[in-house]
Amino acid sequence: MSSSDPNKLISKADKLTKLSLTRWSADWKSATLLYEQAANGFRVSKDYEKAKLAFEKASKGQEMLASPWDAAKHMESAAALAKELRNWTEVIDFYRRASELYMQCDRPQPASDSLAKAARALEDALPDDAVQLYTDACVILEDDGKEQMAFDLYRAAASIYVKLEKFTDAATFLLRLGLAADKCNARNSQCKAYLSAIIVYLYAHDLKQAEKCYNDCSQIDAFLRSDQNRCASKLLSAYTEGDVEEIKRVAQSSTISNLDNVIIKLARKLPTGDVAELKEEAAKGEEEALDENDLT
């Protein structure tokens, strides 16, 4: 049966589903079966467009048969084929639909998985949408209480932001990662996340933000006691002293080499801009304070 022409199978299945005078109710069961076979046939013959269509119809059939799980699976296959065709809007649509169906089955993990797959597919083409998808995936997991799975997603989202040079957003994401890690008691990931956030701020040449971030993180006990804390304090003190050699040396240290690849690349490129002018700014700020005192 499956060896026969997939086109014929599709037309047959269509006939089964179309309501007409002779047919009062659509026979979804056999139709879905035929659709599935047709889709496999198309996939084998590498006719992606038709295969995608067939998978869509098969998924609809499964929905009608009240099995959202199979429907979601077919949607995912359709989306994978859409990715091959580089039809990005369809990719997003299909993966979102698949995730909704998974949620209907009360299975949040595959739901977030499908969103993550979508985001990964879109990373190069539509990075903003990709980030949105990653965020949604993380939200689903957090609602379910499974933050640990979200770590990878947060990291990927942060790296996309870094690529887009939106450093504040990247740092925000890393801090959210730290929060998630805190909930699961994953101290190492948490401290690494905070250190990465500080490095991102420094790369954006925003010393004040970095220091603020460092102060915030120092409130947290786990971070205070960790290696990453010492590394961060060394880095910040090197910045305030304007010591380029020290910055480079800290960036080469093993604590930083244990972080994410993207962050390591940023760290090695430190210091960006003129460290001396940062020192001057800091000194000027202090002087201005003194002047105010003199006036009063």
Partner 1 sequence: MTVIDILFRVDEICKKYDKYDPEKQREANAFLDDAFPRLYSLVEADIEKALAKSDKVSTEKNRAAAVALSAEIRRIKARLMEEVPKLQKLAKKKVKGLSKEDHETRFDIVLALPDRIKAIPDGSTAAASQSGGWGTSSSNKKIKFDSSEERLGSDFYQQTEESDQFRQEYEMRKMKQDEGLDVISEGLDTLKNIALDMNEEIDRQVPLMDEIETKVDKTTSDIRKNNVRLKKTITQIRSSRNFCIDIILLCIILGIAFYLYK
Residues at the site binding partner 1, with contacts judged by CB under 8 A = 146, 148-149, 184-186, 188-189, 254-255, 258
* Shortest distance, position 188 Cβ to partner 1, whole Å: 4
Q: 30 is written with which tokens? A: 């056999």
Residue 288, amino acid:
E
Measured from the CB atom, is 48 or 69 closer to partner 1?
A: 69
Residue 116 φ/ψ, nearest 5 degrees: -65, -40
* Shortest distance, position 177 Cβ to partner 1, whole Å: 12
Place of tokens 């998974």: 102
* Shortest distance, position 113 Cβ to partner 1, whole Å: 13
Q: Which residue in 88, 98, 183 sits closest to 143, CA to CA?
A: 183
Measured from the CB atom, is 83 or 192 closer to partner 1?
A: 192
* Shortest distance, position 181 Cβ to partner 1, whole Å: 8
Measured from the CB atom, is 164 or 184 closer to partner 1?
A: 184
Rounded alpha-carbon distances, angstroms, from residue 106 to 12, 97, 112, 127, 177: 34, 14, 12, 29, 25
Place of tokens 């990931």: 189
Beta-carbon count within 10 A of 185 CB: 10
For 249-292, give the DSSP string.
HHHHSHHHHTS-HHHHHHHHHPPPS-HHHHHHHHHHHHHHHHHH
- DSSP-derived letter for residue 147 is G
* Shortest distance, position 159 Cβ to partner 1, whole Å: 18
Measured from the CB atom, is 40 or 226 closer to partner 1?
A: 226
Measured from the CB atom, is 148 or 233 closer to partner 1?
A: 148
* Shortest distance, position 149 Cβ to partner 1, whole Å: 7
For 155-208, give the DSSP string.
HHHHHHHHHTT-HHHHHHHHHHHHHHHHHHT-HHHHHHHHHHHHHHHHHTT-HH
How many Å apart are CA 22 and CA 30, to the nearest integer? 17
Measured from the CB atom, is 121 or 186 closer to partner 1?
A: 186
* Shortest distance, position 254 Cβ to partner 1, whole Å: 4
Measured from the CB atom, is 188 or 272 closer to partner 1?
A: 188
